[in-house]
Chains A and B, each alone.
Chain A
Amino acid sequence: MDIDLSVTSVRDANAALRALPAGASARLASPAGRHNLAVGLTEAITVEIDGTAGYYAGGLGRDATVLVRGTAGWGAGENLMSGLVRVDGDASQSLGSCAHGGTVVVHGSASLRAGISLKGGTVLVAGDVGDHCGFMAQAGTILIGGDAGRGLGDSLYEAVIYVAGKIRDLGADARIEELAEADVELVARLAKQHGFDHIDPENVTRVASARQLYHWGTP
């Protein structure tokens, strides 16, 4: 199914996508940065956004595959439950925010707060990430192929961040930990799966919670 967003509203386009059965595929042409494309999908369909998406592309999705051929705005793949949101270009702020499951992959770079409040999903960025990546991330995995900005992993809970490049600085309660064999295996598997050939799984930095903010004394 082909939908031309220069003549079809986002509301009608999303309604058409939600009507598709599992296994179907659709292409959204002329996205031109429109918001809320392919949000709230519930079936294992494939949606190709043929250009640049605005806010929340593929957000609140379950089982679907959403491919953004250009760049993506704020909150791409936000609150994803399962499935895949892939961005060929760069992603803006709050990439994969609150994702409970599934995978959010960016082949370019991502700006601030990638993986904020992550709740179990996997967020992968081939390039660099901006400040506050992994802020309050609760569970899941963040893999960064390039450099990380300021305040990496601030107030982390149980999510784990791997960084292949440099880290500008760590946020409160984040610490660098020894890389275990299981970490190397996980990073190698993710890098292979998503074509992040530039990552050497033996040479990434593991960042996790120091767990010093978990308790502050109770009356």
Chain B
Amino acid sequence: MCGITALQLRDADLRPRLGELMAAMMAQVAERGPDSAGITIYPDVRVLKGVGHPAALAAEWRLREMAGTQAVAHTRMATESAITAAHCHPFVVGDGLSLVHNGSFANHATIRRELLARGVPFDSDNDSEVAARFLAYRMAEGDGLEKALRLLCERFDGFYTLAVQTPDAFAVVRDVIACKPAIIAETAGWVAMASEYRALAVLPGIAAARVYEPEPEEVYLWTST
């Protein structure tokens, strides 16, 4: 259970402010996930994770000073696995694929066993890591991110809102029942997704943004420019 924030900057002038904007967004969803937090910042695929309040972690990481093209972050309220940095999202696997998850999968143990049998390694017992490993596995087999996400919808049972970034793309998808929140906002300068609107409210130009909720089981994909 958690708060998700993700941002892809189209406007190059905003890129020096990526860390500042992400820190502000994460602070708005800190109560959804007060245990721990993590973030991946592109293009360098810089991964920061820690245990503690998200605002304290952002300060510790000096997140506000960081520049970049896109980032995906997570504030965590641990459900069934431990509160450690290793269990923090994003799960960063394969060729720089980062995944964050809000919800709870219902058949991840079986999929984990299937992937293990195919030689896929795991770093944690977290259910969300299974989704990240599944996507990386499918992409290593030649599928694009969009197809891999569609296959994930077919194979995974349970509740999920997922935000995924790779060095060239940003995607959002949620399960067919769509019980976990997700909201997307787009302007000419950026595209963002968060668990709650309040995280989007901190972004420049939000008043004029196109704001909408992702439809169940529909893959939303934006390529990096």
Contacts and interface: CB of A to CB of B under 8 A. Distances in A.
**Contact present between A and B (CB < 8 A):** yes
A71 B185 CA distance: 13
Contacts of B198: 32-34, 54
Nearest to A89: B211
A73 interface: yes
Nearest to A110: B213
Given A90-B211, A131-B216, A112 B197 contact: no
A112 B211 contact: no
Interface of A: 32-34, 52, 54, 71, 73-74, 90, 92-93, 111-112, 130-131, 149
Contacts of B28: 33
The SS class assigned to the A binding surface is loop
Size bracket of the B interface? 10 to 19
Nearest to B213: A111
B188 interface: no
A105 B197 CA distance: 20
Given A32-B198, A52-B197, A131 B178 contact: yes
Nearest to A33: B198
Interface string B178-200: 10010100000000000011111
Given A92-B183, A93-B181, A112-B178, A32 B201 contact: yes
Contacts of A149: 215
Nearest to B216: A131
A73 B215 contact: no
Given A92-B181, A112-B178, A131-B178, A33 B216 contact: no
A149 B181 CA distance: 18
